[in-house]
Amino acid sequence: MPAANHYDVIIIGTGAGGGTLAYRLAPSGKRILLLERGDYVPREKDNWSTRAVNLEAKYNTKESWRDKDAKPLHPHTNYYVGGNTKFYGAALFRLRKEDFGELRHHGGFSPAWPISYDELEPYYNRAEELYQVHGQRGADPTEPPASKPYPFPAVSHEPRIQQLSDDLKALDLKPFHVPLGIMLDEKNPRTSRCIRCNTCDGHPCLIYAKADAQVVCVDPALQHSNVTLLTGAYVERLETSPTGREISKVVLKRNGSREEYQGNVVVVSCGAINSAALLLRSASDKHPKGLANSSDVVGRFYMGHTNGVVLALSKCPNPTVFQKTLAVNDFYFGDKDFNFPMGHISFVGKLDGVTLSAGAPAIAPGWTLDLMGKHSLDFWLTSEDLPDPANRVTLNRDGEIVLSYTPNNLEAYNRLVKKLEQVMQQQTKCSAHGHDCHVGLFARNLFLGQRIPLAGVAHQNGTIRFGRDPKTSALDPDCKAHDVDNLYVVDGSFFPSSGAVNPALTIMANALRVGERILERLR
């Protein structure tokens, strides 16, 4: 009989990586322990309140980190069962095939991955099935080859977005439908689980119709009697056997007390920043620079994308309810004016006056925030930031997380904004206002300034990179630590480069891949 606190596999963190892995391992009958520092997101009307979510940041962690100048940093991140997928916009993109190779950017090089796109492709299929992705193959000009169709049809555009799509097509661009993990059945609206509401991106789904890691992975995994979840379980430290080659204890705090657990396999999946912090906190005689860190890469190469929200204001109102249906990848790898990758254009959920007041937007003369919210098209821009060893997670003397980051490759982002402006200035379709309709573009972000600031860590990745060489990577190509025989990492930490599409589907697909390796090992 195994001891009560001994498990075959311990998974720390229940988000896109940890939750998906738990789902994959659950049917094996192995004893699996899921450790999650947060609780379930409470189901309450505030889930769908833009005031509670965007203005009061009700569900954000209240934790304070530091930036490189030791100033307090209040991260926009969430600690709950399901991790940040509870709040995500469920835009579930595959990385491009080229993102797995080395790519030359204006600001430097984006390094190759130790696995190819083709190796991950079957797992992308499975992740798309699991997360019920609605999309249309063949429309995205940079789409990688896929061996299966999307499991569900694309989510339709509402009239204003359809009009934009038609306009963009008239300019010889190839707008397409964002692949989305929402449980929408447009043919049967009466029975559709998703009701296509205006509080999806950034909000938890009150009626569990978003394919998040809690709803589609953790809850089903817990139907298996061999799977146990402990919430409110903050993992403080991992300890090793005397050789340093094996995790011997997972040490956590729960209800104010210290508890210890053992696992034959231990998987860290706390999100790229917290996973790096956990390994650094677990330094010991055998691992003086931090656990599994003989390479000194743990915490380094932090990436988070260069993201920004750009409002396009028109005289015509934009009555769209669910706006995040259209994307443009024509500039992803560059164009004739700029022969370097620029990135990805899509949408955030429809912004309203309340949400706009959470930042400090450039107010258009004569417009109130409410009016801006009623007339804006709210674009979301993503450009790749490049891995830099100086962009890193460390711990200060008080054990606080320090996130040091200097943006790079900004020309790509600036060019992408310019492209969007040029494209929007060519909009001619409005029958009521003619050319005057699209009066201007106002760049803002949900917080301050032009771009999403450092606290916007939604796309965090890269801090425990995988690779073939133990001198330059912490994980091997199966995401097992080079230095420790029973330690794996399956959150966004493993990315050696980040591409310029949203990261979650790649994290999910990789967790399914690593899950297979772990199952082979346990057999």
Ligand X SMILES: Cc1cc2nc3c(=O)[nH]c(=O)nc-3n(C[C@H](O)[C@H](O)[C@H](O)COP(=O)(O)OP(=O)(O)OC[C@H]3O[C@@H](n4cnc5c(N)ncnc54)[C@H](O)[C@@H]3O)c2cc1C
Rank residues 200 and 386 by Cβ distance to ligand SF4 and give the closer one.
Answer: 200
> Could you tell me the two tokens for 339?
């022969």
CB of 60 to ligand SF4, least distance (A): 18
> At its nearest, how many Å lie between ligand SF4 and the CB of residue 198?
8
Strand, coil or helix: 272 = helix
Q: How far is the CB of 192 from ligand SF4 (least distance, A)?
A: 9
Q: Which does 210 bind (CB under 5 to 8 A by kind): ligand SF4, ligand X, none?
A: ligand SF4
Alpha-carbon gap, residue 1 to 6, rounded angstroms: 10
* In the complex, least distance from residue 45 CB atom to ligand SF4, rounded to whole angstroms: 13
Return d(Cα 112, Cα 473) in angstroms, integer. Answer: 13
Nearer of residues 206 and 522 to ligand SF4, judged by Cβ? 206
322 binding partner (options ligand SF4, ligand X, none; Cβ < 5 to 8 Å by kind) = ligand SF4
Length of the chain: 523
Amino acid at residue number 2 = P
Question: In 234-261, which positions are buried (b, 16+ CB within 10 angstroms) versus exposed (e)?
Answer: bbebbebeeebeebbbbebeeeeeeeeb
Q: Where are the alpha helices (DSSP H) in 383-475?
A: 410-425
From the list ligand X, ligand SF4, none, pick the one residue 89 interacts with, judged by a Cβ distance below 5 to 8 Å according to partner type.
ligand X
Q: At closest approach, how far in Å is the CB of 114 from ligand SF4?
A: 35
Q: Which is nearer to ligand X, 84 or 329 (CB)?
A: 84
Name the closest residue to ligand X (Cβ): 15
Minimum CB distance to ligand X, residue 198 (Å) = 15
Q: Footprint of ligand SF4 on this chain (CB under 6 A)? A: 182, 194-197, 199-200, 205, 207, 209-210, 322
Residue 41 has φ and ψ, to the nearest 5°, of -65, 125
Q: Which is nearer to ligand SF4, 157 or 451 (CB)?
A: 157
Q: Which residues contact ligand X by CB under 6 A?
A: 12-18, 35-38, 79-80, 83-85, 87-92, 202, 233-235, 269-272, 274, 278, 458-459, 491-492, 502-505, 507
What is the C-alpha separation between 477 and 468, in angstroms, rounded?
Answer: 6
Count helices and strands (H / E) in the chain. Answer: 11, 19
Q: Which does 9 bind (CB under 5 to 8 A by kind): ligand SF4, ligand X, none?
A: none
194 contact choice in ligand SF4, ligand X, none (CB below 5 to 8 Å, kind-dependent) = ligand SF4
Separation in Å, CA 110 to CA 133, 301, 417, 498: 28, 11, 21, 8
Question: Smaller CB distance to ligand SF4: residue 21 or 53?
Answer: 53
Residue 160: C-alpha distances to residues 154, 157, 179, 220, 312 (Å):
17, 8, 19, 38, 13
